[in-house]
Amino acid sequence: MPFLLLGLFLLVSGLATAQEPPVPFLPLTHYAPLWEKSLFTTRDLPSPDAPAGPIFTDSLSLTGIYELDGQTVAVLVDRTTSLISEARLDVENEAGIKIRKITPGASMDKTRVQLQKGDQAGWVNFADAPAAAPVNPAPALETRPAVVPGGAPVGGVTTPLLPRMGIPPPPPSDVPLPPQ
Alpha carbon of 38 to those of 27, 34, 42, 44, 118: distances in Å? 19, 5, 9, 13, 20
pLDDT per residue as tens digits for the range 63-91: 999 888 888 899 999 888 889 999 998 88
Mean pLDDT computed over every residue of the chain: 73
> Smallest Cα–Cα separation from 85: which of 96, 100, 69?
96
Mean pLDDT confidence for 40-51: 58
